[in-house]
Amino acid sequence: MLENRRILLIVSGGIAAVKVPDLIRRLRERGAHVRCILTKGGAQFVTPLTLGSLSGDKVYQDLFSLTDEAEMGHIRLSREADIILVAPATADIMAKMASGQADDLATTALLATDKPVMIAPSMNVMMWTHPATQANLLTLKNREVKVVGPSAGDLACGEVGNGRMAEVPEIIAALTRFFQKNDGQGPLTGLRALVTSGPTHEPIDPVRYIANRSSGKQGHAVAAALAELGAQVTLVSGPTNEADPDGVKVTHVETAKQMMKACSEALPAEIVVCAAAVADWSVEGAKQKIKKEKGAAAPSLNLSENPDILATLSLPGPTRPMLVVGFAAETQNLIESAQSKRAKKNCDWVVANDVSPGTGTFGGDSNTVHLVTADGVESWPTLRKRAVAERLAERIATYVQRHI
Ligand code: CTP
């Protein structure tokens, strides 16, 4: 996706400039052409020689350089790019961009450009959260400036919080996504996803069955969100009232065993999300309707264990999907149960949600989830199920782009 893309990389003066050599290396490995503008502040952290050697191009620093202007005017510099990436973007350069100042080569190029712009902010947490910076950020976002990061963590200034520049793979993923979108593709184009959703119905006899309260809303929303990012999605759904999502191949099933079979037939897939509330047991069902005989004891149900679809799809092997995501519906010890479920079932991520009575999760439109991965637990705010699905799909896209 980055092959032959021309990236004008503006390096402003933040400590995160030390990550820029690696960024240039990774971009060039992917076939991108990188040309750098280094601000005065940026040059305090990284030398023009380093940037020039790695980019294989001249590094531009001076607005009033006669040689530079003769070779390549600042207007041409800003136009001969497919995107301008400001990394790191300090609070200062963001403020200048927001107010349209042009007092050096970097800000002049940014004002003179007609090309898309992406920034990777990097600063102290107080500077990041300051209303001035947040107002500038909003102004830039309203002008369609793309933003990657920052993330939370230890900052070079010794404080902890939001303000760390996005890591190099994250910036690469954001650029890749930008170009894909620009080309009318999604970040998951060319990838196959399998999603399970809804409850299963386990027949007791031809008229009765065992079911659960799953509505299928979350699973269907995940299937739709993955399709919107370009994935080729198969949704295997138990009985629900949800409409089949647009652009998704849907296989309707009733029982866990049918769901297992449909999932096996839908493979191979790079991404699997098991959101279905699969019944753990099936009933040794009667062929005919069980009749109530006067005075007879109540019939007992003979249960046998259903296949665990998530665990089966997560089994190691050459055809194992790149990313398998399970859901954990719990009424107590939410995080611990989700963590142990992740280990027990060998899946990569678990989306844990509290389904206790009163949370309104089952059948409701919103959900409060925690994403449990190998890296730890991320608690998301209460969101509409559609928004949970979109956020999860975005996370999946970032993950697979890093691992492809
Ligand atoms: N799951 C599955 N097949 C099953 C049971 C569960 O694919 N037979 C998947 C669900 O789709 C979900 C995850 O496993 O992604 C967790 O389901 P859950 O019902 O919470 O876990 P169980 O394994 O049933 O464990 P328990 O009921 O003991 O909590």
pLDDT band (50, 70, 90) for residue 70: low
Q: Are 45 and 86 in contact (CB under 8 A)?
A: no
- pLDDT tens, residue by residue, 236-252: 999 999 999 989 999 99
- pLDDT tens, residue by residue, 288-303: 998 888 888 888 899 9
pLDDT band (50, 70, 90) for residue 267: very high
Residues of the chain with CATH 3.40.50.10300: 186-284+300-403
Percentage of the chain exceeding pLDDT 70: 98
Among 75, 10, 3, CA closest to 39: 10
What pLDDT does 200 receive? 98
Residues of the chain with CATH 3.40.50.1950: 6-182
354 lines ligand 1 (CB under 6 A): no
Work out the angle between the directed axes of helices 105-112 and 91-99 (0-180°, nearest 10).
40
The ligand 1 atom nearest the CA atom of 312: 7
Of all protein residues, the one whose alpha carbon is nearest to atom 27 of ligand 1 is 280
pTM: 0.67
46 lines ligand 1 (CB under 6 A): no
Q: Which of the following CATH numbers is that of domain 6-182: 3.40.50.1950, 1.10.1370.40, 2.60.40.4070, 3.90.180.10?
A: 3.40.50.1950
349 lines ligand 1 (CB under 6 A): no
Mark whether 263 is an active-site residue. no
User: Which of 73-77, 88-92, 161-165, 287-291 has the largest mean confidence?
Assistant: 88-92
Among 333, 321, 335, 282, CA closest to 196: 321
Q: For the chain, how long is the longest CA-to-CA vector? A: 105
CATH architecture of 186-284+300-403: 3-Layer(aba) Sandwich (3.40)
Q: For 17, which DSSP code?
A: G
